[in-house]
Structure 1
């Protein structure tokens, strides 16, 4: 399984389109949204624009890498026979799913760190050392939830259909979870939905640390629940695909 993880990381790093959208795009978007904004607190929040969007854009970068990257690669691998070849080896199904999740989460780390570096250099974001480490670690670990979702989508859709389906999940979860704009300025019905979505819980890990608090138990429980659902769904779809093959 270790060999497969290394192979997946190398393949991802050689993909120029992947590197742009997962590594360069989030910090560039951060500069566009927060670069010229003032440092006043966001209405209804204790955070200013620089702090809030540092977490949301780091989250977006991790989601791009693990959700979009995973789903499209798996759908293509199913079509070109790579997954069928792996089944002929001693690698168990759970090993394949775990390798995909681990490799996707690994390559999401550069995007997370780059957004944080840009926030510190351009917006003058200043935090304690434990806060920087906690935000980076929480954002990276939270990415496993969306890595599992990407695997499930990759086994659910065909090569032609996987992109629109993945994009629907990507943009829907990003908007409703408050990644594009703070939830406090959105309608109440959006806030009510967002409270139970994985993207809101995901960003809440980092925003809680930014104001000097520990991540809330409810947010961690929501992420753990979604991880079990997405990983279980991915494993079931993998077994279903195996029986069809």
Structure 2
């Protein structure tokens, strides 16, 4: 399994387009969305400054891009090319393949987080205590595992031709409705209620709670844990279903 993880990371690092959209693009979006807002402007109903809000939002968005976009389309194409079938002939168990895909994507999500943090600190002067920086990195990275498993599930659900549009629909829908593009406090009440049940809303909430000096809310952690179980179950079921076709 370790060899497959190394292979996944090496392949991703050779893909310049992938690296741009996962590592640099979130930082560019931060500058476009949060870089023009004064630090004294607060998120409605909170003491959280808008640059800090967008820092966490875009770091989360970058990690989501790395694990979701990277896994889904690649797995779908590997299924159609016969690569997954060849791996089943080796000693690698099915769970090893799924874990390798998840672990490889998770490793690549870390640079996306750190680049956004570096840009926010140098360009907008975002400042936190040392423990908050470490906690933010750990929380956003750990939370991205939920979407890494979702990417695996989509990769087994969609074909090579439909994987990208399906992933893009899920990707932008969750990002916008979950509050990664703008605070959900700006939404109408009915949409805020829907957003509160989305994994991306809970995901962004992890970092926002730490920025305000506290621990992640138990409700956000519980929502992400439930989605992780659901997505893992879906990925496992779809993998077994795909295996029976081979």
Correspondence for 1:59: 60
Residues in 1 aligned to 2:36 and 2:223: alpha-carbon distance in whole angstroms: 34
Residues in 1 aligned to 2:176 and 2:217: alpha-carbon distance in whole angstroms: 21
Correspondence for 1:192: 193
The runs of 5 or more residues in structure 2 that have no matched partner are: none
Structure 1 outlier segments of 4+, above 2 Å: none
What does 1:1-245 correspond to in 2, within 5 Å?
Answer: 1-39=1-39, 40-245=41-246
SS for the counterpart of 1:224 is helix
Residues in 1 aligned to 2:191 and 2:63: alpha-carbon distance in whole angstroms: 23
Residues in 2 aligned to 1:118 and 1:149: alpha-carbon distance in whole angstroms: 28
Q: Which moved more, 1:205-214 or 1:32-41?
A: 32-41
SS for the counterpart of 2:242 is helix
How far did residue 47 of structure 1 move?
A: 0.9
Query: How far does the alpha carbon of each residue in 1:104-144 deviate from its partner, in whole angstroms, 9 at most, with x for none?
Result: 01001000000001000011001000000000000001010
How far did residue 211 of structure 1 move?
A: 0.4
Query: How far does the alpha carbon of each residue in 1:176-226 deviate from its partner, in whole angstroms, 9 at most, with x for none?
Result: 100010111111111101111110110100000000010011111111110
How far did residue 145 of structure 1 move?
A: 0.3
Residues in 1 aligned to 2:217 and 2:36: alpha-carbon distance in whole angstroms: 31
Residues in 1 aligned to 2:13 and 2:64: alpha-carbon distance in whole angstroms: 16
- Aligned pair count? 245
Query: How far does the alpha carbon of each residue in 1:64-118 deviate from its partner, in whole angstroms, 9 at most, with x for none?
Result: 1100110010011011111011000011111111111010010010000000010
Tell me, yes or no, if the aligned pair for 1:46 and 1:211 is still in contact at 8 Å. yes
Residues in 1 aligned to 2:36 and 2:229: alpha-carbon distance in whole angstroms: 40
SS for the counterpart of 1:170 is helix
Residues in 2 aligned to 1:36 and 1:81: alpha-carbon distance in whole angstroms: 48
SS for the counterpart of 1:235 is helix
Residues in 2 aligned to 1:36 and 1:125: alpha-carbon distance in whole angstroms: 13
Tell me, yes or no, if the aligned pair for 1:206 and 1:215 is still in contact at 8 Å. yes
Tell me, yes or no, if the aligned pair for 1:45 and 1:184 is still in contact at 8 Å. no
The runs of 5 or more residues in structure 1 that have no matched partner are: none
The two structures have a TM-score, normalised by structure 1, of 0.99
Residues in 2 aligned to 1:86 and 1:178: alpha-carbon distance in whole angstroms: 39
How far did residue 49 of structure 1 move?
A: 1.2
Residues in 2 aligned to 1:168 and 1:58: alpha-carbon distance in whole angstroms: 20
Query: How far does the alpha carbon of each residue in 1:4-47 deviate from its partner, in whole angstroms, 9 at most, with x for none?
Result: 11111111111111101100100000001111111221222211
Tell me, yes or no, if the aligned pair for 1:152 and 1:234 is still in contact at 8 Å. yes
* C-alpha RMSD of the superposition: 0.7
The two structures have a TM-score, normalised by structure 2, of 0.98
